[in-house]
Amino acid sequence: MRVNGTYIDVSPKAKIIGESTFIPLRGVFEAMGAKVIWEGTRQQVTIVKGSKTIVLNIGNKQALVNGTGQALSNAPFISAEGSTYVPLRFATEALGAQVAWESDKWTAVINQMD
């Protein structure tokens, strides 16, 4: 993955399921300067960056962005290794970033707009 021109190594690696790319939550969003909060009893992830707050629930195709419901094409999940994965495009664009895919390098490119 490349965030704002800098390659970051995420562990575990991103997963492509169907036609969607899922990323391990913490590494990418912290590289974007976001705070990640995990609420284990509710299986809920909150991502906060500036004036944006995103709330995702494991297994649920509905998210909240600043309190407004938005549909997801795929639900966030927890991998067998215990890492939380979220849909790359939705979560990064909800934070105001642009996402592109460089297929020749198998690299997701995230560029923040702020």
CA-closest candidate to residue 76, choices 64, 93, 63: 63
Tokens of 26: 């913490």
- Scored b (16 or more CB within 10 A) or e, 68-87 reads eeeebebbbeeeeeebbbbb
Residues 70, 82: Cα–Cα separation, whole Å = 26
pLDDT at 111: 85
46-60 pLDDT, tens per residue? 999 999 999 999 999
Domain architecture of the chain: domains with CATH: 2-112 (3.30.457.10)
Q: pTM value?
A: 0.82
18-44 pLDDT, tens per residue? 888 888 878 788 888 889 999 999 999
